[in-house]
Structure 1
């Protein structure tokens, strides 16, 4: 006797329903695999159980198969919008996973959340830290050497500027000394009586002539207005001198 037909209705017994679901699910997945291999077909199978569990099979890729299905079944506009939405969703998922991975790596580098790591992962983390420490020390040494070279260059520049300033100051002092010597050479003591015997003057002092030579100077013609009063009580020499002067004055003004 063969197996009788099974009535297609919901199995009320929960255990029997679960057993039947498991058997037929495996058979369906097997049939989908055989169909994709034997007929070179692109098969995508998605199954959700009554409890919400997902079971899937894809000969190529379920995502690509679904995109191909959307391109074939929907309008071009709807297909474009859906494809963009799907691509954005995938991009967001990738970025979210990458962000979580970076956060986890950062915590590990800071020495946090090391419990779930295995010995191999801890060894890799230790190597990464040692390499980062070596690079940081190398960079620090390079920066210090560059700063030392810069300070040496500034020191040489300041030394050259100091030498130039010294030369300039010495030239200024020598010029000031030369000007002082020239001013002392031009200055001379104005001593008419010759108190210092050793001092010499570039300008000779002319003394007025003595009284003995007053008579030797020829009298210049002058205009005399009024009378000359002579003192008769003086000696003959004074009278004769005055007469001589009068005669000279008269001769000078005579026509």
Structure 2
């Protein structure tokens, strides 16, 4: 065997050794990738099969892109949120409407585990998100943003990588054409009794056809104790999407007045 062939074989063996020892160091575009950190099962078997490592990744920026809030995104996340809330707090940062406490309770979520943060400006919301991620006391962060600069996205992604928090950023569908450092991007569209999910970006082969998920039907307003109908109840934020607003809402943590456990 020539010296050149021997060197080539040695190099190939060395590469295979590194790949075996560090499976996250190499990803082939035609294969499903993997995350270095932990994942949280989505609670939807069909979706888990399409996600690297079979769930929502911790320590990563996840983008959910939709035309309007209330298309079923919270019901999509409900199983994962229930898991996380059993041990750690969930932060709602800049939700488009007031949280519906009766709906959260009906879904089996401990409302004592919820923290709602309202910021006056987008820059304050992004600052709050970074503090939540750096603090590490929360298991999940849901952040709603209409407009965000590329450098701010990169900062959030880096902050998420340094934490073990599940970070979902909910953005307009128009942002699907913008570049993003997020390793996982999904667009959501309403469908009969559920939603259609388009996997825009993931560590894996392209998924051309939308993935249909049937979601649990929302409770009727009459089943929700202390619910108060409002003129805009069809669009008010709640766990069950398009429900009425509860009379009792969680305390708001304003910027500069965040709970001590978060700073």
Q: TM-score range by the shorter chain?
A: under 0.3
Structure number with the bigger relative contact order (C-alpha 8 A, sep ≥ 6) is: 2
User: Counting helix residues as a fraction of each chain, which structure ranks higher?
Assistant: 1
Q: Which structure has the greater CA radius of gyration?
A: 1
